Structure 1
Amino acid sequence: MNHTKRRKTFINGVALAAVAALALTGCARGPAGGGEGGEASPGITDTSITLGITTPLSGGTAGPGNCTVDGIRAYFGAVNAEGGVTFGDGNTRTVEIEALDDTYDPQKAKANYDQLKDSVFAMTSGLGTPTNRAWLEAAISDEVPQVLVQTGDPIFSDREASPWQLGFVPIYQNEGAAFGELLANSGEEHKVAILSQNDDFGEGYVEGFKEEIEGVDNIEIVGELTYEATDTTVNAQMTELAATGADVIFNAMSITPLVITAMEQAKQLGWSPSWFQPSNTSSPGAILEPAGAETFPGVYSVAFAKAPASPEYAEDEDVQEFLTNLEEHTDQAGVPQFPHCMWSYMIGATLEQAFQNMTEPTRANFMEHLMQISDFQAPLMLDGTSVNTTEDGQPAVSTVIVQKYNGQGFDNVESFG
């Protein structure tokens, strides 16, 4: 099932503050600085360009966090081995990556940005809503691109409020809405329990889900609880939600160990609902298999990238090239456990599209061309999805395919059940 959600504009306190800041600098709409008159911005020379990443390389989200670096290193490692990227200004440059660990801590993420901002051309790919938000206003003020980051927070796709930002993955509302649409179209009565992260990540998923089931008589939310990203257990929440007798759990969680323990606790309680899982915590090898997900009636997620672990893509040319580049240019060998590896590989390909059209070595010129990419079929993209950076209110990828876990990987589905 292919889901492209309607355009929405989300402006909150952070966005309003950003607008005010831009008005004071005379930059209320669109980037205008970062190397005026063709003068090179920081982080770029005639022979190289350096990109910065702040992301969790240790801690509870280290698995997906390391993937946000490995995929892009794999992509540009292969490109550099062939001589580099030929930019629109005629120069051929190698692409260097400088990545710092923020452990999913917003304060560390801001410190990492402060350390990198004057030596890199752009910041990209890093994981996390609170960590990317921690330095959003600073990036706007400094006119440093914060682009193709791995958060579904819609603020990063609001062009007027955030002219130096662009998200890569679908906004959380889009993913949540895809689950809501699937359930609403089932035509059967369902009781839903919701467990979500108490931040913009969780709120966005729940918002999209609720909008799609609003007014649907056959769907009833019978329990709704939250947890903190710093919590070490959700057993109490799972016990309370299990008592509702819900046959579906909408599980908007981003912390890998907690997703596993949530499923394990459900089994201990004798509760066997169908699960709706976000794309970033639906890894078969790292999460679903250890949690024994195959014992539940169904585990559903969404995707826009081919899964190398799926037998369907065992001989796929894109997948084979990706795995080869990953092994040759990173410390990771074999099939990656998290989709973030594939996403950051796609990010590399998308950045290359912008680089190839840049006519000046400036951040402003880069942003101009990054925002003009339309219907780009990046490597590893599923049929029916593409990169489109031209629509205000949407990230680079806004379309998702709903899938069901089959014990090894995921199959596309058209209906719930």
Structure 2
Amino acid sequence: MRGISRRAILSGAFSLAAVSWGPRQARARNDLGVTETEIKLGTTGAYSGPVSSAAVYSEAQTAYFRMVNERGGINGRKVNLISLDNAFSPAKALEQTRRLVESDEVFAIAGSFGSAPSLAVQRYLNSKRVPNLFLTSGIEKFNDPKNFPWIVPFYPLYVAQGKVFGRYVLEQRPSARIAVHYSNDDLGRDFVKGIRAALGDRAEAMIVKELSHELSEPTIEAQMVELKASGADVLVQITQSKFAAQGIRKAAALDWRPLYIIAGNASSIGTTLVPAGRENSTGIVTARWERNVTDPAEADTPAVKEYIEFAKKYLPNISLENTTTVPGYNNAYMIEQVLKRCGDDLTRENLLKQATTIRGIVPPLFVEGIEVFNSPGDYRAVHNLQLAKFDGKTWVAIAKPVALDGL
């Protein structure tokens, strides 16, 4: 079901008669959006618009909470996640978020998708003291607990990812001629900032071409011709899946075979590499922090087995290779864990406290060795990345997880 309004309907009819509190004490004081039987959350995702291939991220979130509800909910309460379309538009995101807060009266915004949409609602939610819990964006502007304490991200910083790419190029091709192609938004600009920081005083000499593009453009093929003409032997492409697939196909058509690096947000096999052609994508490098659920080497991993069973039941029409579902699943898991830690103290202040003191919780589909923690003074939560290369079938690790702190 796709449309402007998407709701995860509470599974089954639930009434006070269906819940047995036994010897539990009376409930603590709770905030708007919380009742004896329900926790109402809101979120927005790109169900339409220029990055609608990422709609499955939001579908995985709503599916996860259907599963949670079927298992009894969280501390005796069912989760009502209202997921609305932001069309990857700042104006639409603000409109829908206002609806969630002022009409639907949600307890919190949880796991909203996209940098530009999240920026559009940052000041509004902070002024309303409504937690924007674990939004999916790595731009530095969201790690600002002093000015925006109610905005809590959960994604590796793009600047740090860019530094990992820059350092990798220096190690592999110290005399490289680098072309950088990026989306003209905060995601792209933060990545470029990180790449240049890693290259240091060599950046001007090594980067022979920088081109940006708008997400509204239908194609980047002409830009790929221009990038090849620069004489670059390394291409770092920071964009969304649709455009990354176009770039990979065009590079192959031009018989251009640079060291090709793509951003982790566009590394889904199903939405980027398969449309680009597996043979064209072989050898591409990315940085990851989540497991590839279709990798035969992961087949016996308990968390992967559990995810596959989840996907078969709750996301039957989505290919397992469309791994954009994985961050949605991991994000919903983290929201569930924080809500559990709130116990019966379901106030927005306590939710914020629990969300900004993460220790000892790691999403089930994170790569082993990825550290997860944050603090009230530093909201960065993901502290490692692992470089991987596509071998024509799956992503294969080419290094141990790299620590992002101190880069």
The TM-score with structure 1 as length reference comes to 0.83
Q: Which amino acid aligns with 1:286?
A: T
Partners of 2:318 and 2:169 in 1: CA distance: 38
In the alignment, the residues of structure 2 paired with residue 247 and residue 132 of structure 1 have an alpha-carbon distance, to the nearest angstrom, of 35
1:336: Cα distance to partner?
4.6
Q: Deviations over 1:286-321 (max 9, x none)?
A: 211221353367211111111112111122211121
CA contact (8 A) 1:76 1:95 kept: yes
Aligned equivalent of 1:51 = 41
Distance 1:389 1:336, change over 3 A: farther
Structure 2 CA distance for aligned equivalents of residues 258 and 276 of structure 1: 13
Deviation at 1:362, TM superposition (A): 1.0
Task: Give, as a single letter, the amino acid of the residue that structure 2 aligns with 1:83.
Answer: G
Higher relative contact order at CA 8 Å, sep ≥6: structure 1 or structure 2?
1
Amino acid at match of 2:341: N
**Cα distance between partner residues in 2 of 1:219 and 1:414:** 27
1:194 Cα deviation after fit: 0.7
Return the letter of the residue paired with 1:349. Y
CA separation of 1:122 and 1:236: change in aligned 2, threshold 3 A: same
- In the TM superposition, residue 145 of structure 1 has moved relative to its aligned partner by 0.9
Q: 1:303 to 1:321 in 2, by over 3 A?
A: same
**Residues 1:344 and 2:328 aligned together:** yes
Note the residue ranges of structure 1 that are not aligned, 5 or more in a row: 1-37, 87-91
- Aligned CA RMSD, in angstroms, stands at 2.1
Match of 1:132 among 97, 118, 134: 118
Offset of residue 353 of structure 1: 2.3
Task: State whether residues 64 and 338 of structure 1, in contact with CA within 8 Å, keep that contact through their aligned partners in structure 2.
Answer: no
Look up the match of 1:19: none
1:314 pairs with 2:299: yes
* Cα 1:229/1:393, change in 2 over 3 Å: farther
For 2:193 and 2:164, how far apart are their aligned partners in 1?
Answer: 12
Give the % identical residues.
Answer: 27
Q: Does 1:156 align with 2:146?
A: no
Alpha carbons 2:356, 2:379 under 8 Å: kept: no
Over 3 Å counting, the alpha-carbon distance change for 1:64 and 1:45 in structure 2 is: same
**Aligned equivalent of 1:247, options 228, 233, 239:** 233
Residues 51 and 120 of structure 1 are in contact (CA less than 8 Å); yes or no, is this contact kept in structure 2? yes
Change (3 A) 1:336 1:180: same
Which residue is equivalent to 2:275? 290
The aligned counterpart of 2:81 is 97
* Alpha-carbon distance in 2 for matches of 1:50, 1:297: 44
Alignment partner of 2:151 out of 165, 171, 180: 165
2:167 to 181, 196, 200: 181
Measured after TM superposition, the shift of residue 206 of structure 1 is 0.6
* Partner Cα distance (2:284, 2:261) in 1: 6
Structure 2 unaligned blocks of 5 or more:
1-27, 401-407
**Separation in 2 of the partners of 1:366 and 1:332?**
34
How far off its partner does 1:141 sit?
A: 0.8
Amino acid of the structure 2 residue aligned with 1:231:
E
Aligned to 2:223: 237
CA contact (8 A) 1:123 1:146 kept: yes
Indicate how the Cα distance of structure 1 residues 293 and 205 shifts in structure 2: closer, same or farther if over 3 A, else same.
Answer: farther
Contact 1:298 1:404 in 2 (8 A): yes
Cα 1:247–1:57 shift into 2, 3 Å: same
Inter-partner Cα distance in structure 2 for 1:391 and 1:384: 23
How far 1:218 sits from its partner (Å)? Answer: 12
Letter aligned with residue 238 of structure 1: M
- The question of whether the paired residues in 1 share the 8 Å contact of 2:32 and 2:106 is answered with yes
Alignment of 1:52-131 (within 5 A): 52-67=42-57, 69-86=58-75, 92-118=76-102, 119-131=105-117
CA drift at 1:215: 3.3
Q: CA deviation at 1:76?
A: 2.5
Amino acid at match of 1:159: P
**Residue 18 (structure 1) aligns with:** none
TM-score by length of 2: 0.85
Deviations 1:56-110 (CA, angstroms, capped at 9, x unpaired): 112332222332x233233322222221112xxxxx2111211111111111111
Matched AA of 2:39: I
Query: C-alpha separation between the residues in 1 aligned to 2:35 and 2:374?
Result: 26
Q: Deviations over 1:27-63 (max 9, x none)?
A: xxxxxxxxxxx64222111211121111111233222
Contact 2:386 2:399 in 1 (8 A): no
**Which has the higher mean CA deviation after the structures are superposed, 55-64 or 366-375?**
55-64
